[in-house]
């Protein structure tokens, strides 16, 4: 078993199994997930910066670590994932998979020296009742980033990225798109709005230089169902370019937002490979040595 495969498997099982459903309705579990992420980052050698705020009377926290680049004048790359789960779900794929990849990407970045700063953020409160609104963790973070004047080249949202069925007709789409994309759900998708399409295309180019892992990408209108359904939305709203990396969630994953979104549903070998391919992609974008 590769190191990446072992680590992401442990992360998903810890978040979705040992901790389980984690949100403001289960505040102890939400705090346990935050503590787990903080401890992992500290073990990797990072200084963790928390951003505390209250929502529904609960103390909530976004967590941030930074791999400083050698050229501080370059706008950073920000990679994020939300660690809460929807009410009634242990959240293995949504979004234990995104957090597992986030933690492994940050670990892998300790092995290289980037020219461009890369920041990793674990967001709280992406799920309802906060989604789209001001108490959404990424909304709180993006607003503060804009107020600070943070220079962000792009934000990447890791959202539900652990399920890759290879059978025919395993992939669905919004109306009309099915005529342009494959019917097997074995690919990863990059999803952007029109303003972010250039940076998404650059990322897709780097990804394909790194790997032959199946990739599909689209820049489209944010009101298409699913296109804006993660933390990249907050960065769009605050004037930053951002795109989502996803297995397409409910268009493919039959256990989406359910009690059956458990750790045994994840396709770990392709997920591990994808995580390593994303590291190659972001390392190339950050001009590492």
Determine the 3-state secondary structure of 160 from DSSP.
coil
- Domains of the chain in start order, with CATH, are 3-285 (3.40.630.10)
Determine the 3-state secondary structure of 82 from DSSP.
strand
Q: How would you classify the pairing of strands 58-67 and 49-55?
A: antiparallel
Determine the 3-state secondary structure of 23 from DSSP.
strand
Tell whether the model's pLDDT for residue 249 goes beyond 70: yes
- In the structure, what pLDDT confidence band is assigned to residue 16 with cuts at 50, 70 and 90? very high
Tell whether the model's pLDDT for residue 197 goes beyond 70: yes
pLDDT tens digit sequence for 106-141: 999 999 999 999 999 999 999 999 999 999 999 999
Write the CA distances from 244 to 131, 179, 217, 219, 229, integer angstroms: 16, 22, 10, 10, 9
Terminal alpha carbon distance of the chain: 26
pLDDT tens digit sequence for 278-289: 999 999 999 987
Residues 93-108 have a mean pLDDT of: 98
């Amino acid at each position: 078993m590769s190191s990446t495969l072992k680590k992401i498997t442990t992360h998903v099982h810890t978040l979705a199994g040992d901790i389980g459903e984690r949100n403001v309705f289960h505040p102890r579990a939400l705090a346990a997930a935050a503590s787990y992420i903080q401890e992992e980052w500290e073990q990797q050698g990072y200084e963790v910066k928390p951003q505390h705020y209250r929502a529904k009377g609960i103390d909530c926290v976004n967590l941030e670590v930074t791999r400083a680049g050698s050229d501080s004048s370059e706008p950073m790359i920000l990679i994020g994932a939300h660690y809460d789960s929807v009410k009634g779900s242990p959240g293995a794929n949504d979004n234990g998979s995104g957090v597992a990849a986030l933690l492994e990407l940050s670990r892998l970045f300790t092995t290289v020296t980037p020219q461009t700063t890369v920041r990793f953020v674990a967001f709280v409160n992406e799920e309802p009742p906060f989604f789209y609104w001001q108490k959404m963790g990424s909304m709180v973070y993006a607003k503060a980033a804009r107020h600070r004047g943070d220079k962000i080249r792009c934000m990447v949202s890791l959202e539900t990225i652990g399920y890759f069925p290879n059978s025919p007709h395993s992939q669905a789409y919004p109306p009309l798109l099915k005529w342009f994309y494959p019917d097997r759900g074995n690919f990863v998708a990059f999803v952007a709005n029109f303003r972010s399409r250039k940076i998404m295309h650059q990322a897709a180019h780097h990804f394909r230089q790194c790997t032959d892992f199946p990739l599909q990408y689209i820049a489209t209108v944010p009101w298409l169902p699913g296109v804006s359904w993660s933390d990249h939305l907050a960065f769009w709203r605050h004037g930053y370019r951002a795109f989502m990396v996803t297995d397409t969630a409910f268009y493919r994953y039959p256990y989406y937002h359910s009690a059956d979104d458990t750790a045994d549903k994840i396709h770990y070998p392709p997920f591990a490979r994808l995580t390593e391919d994303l590291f190659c992609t972001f390392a190339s974008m950050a001009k590492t040595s």
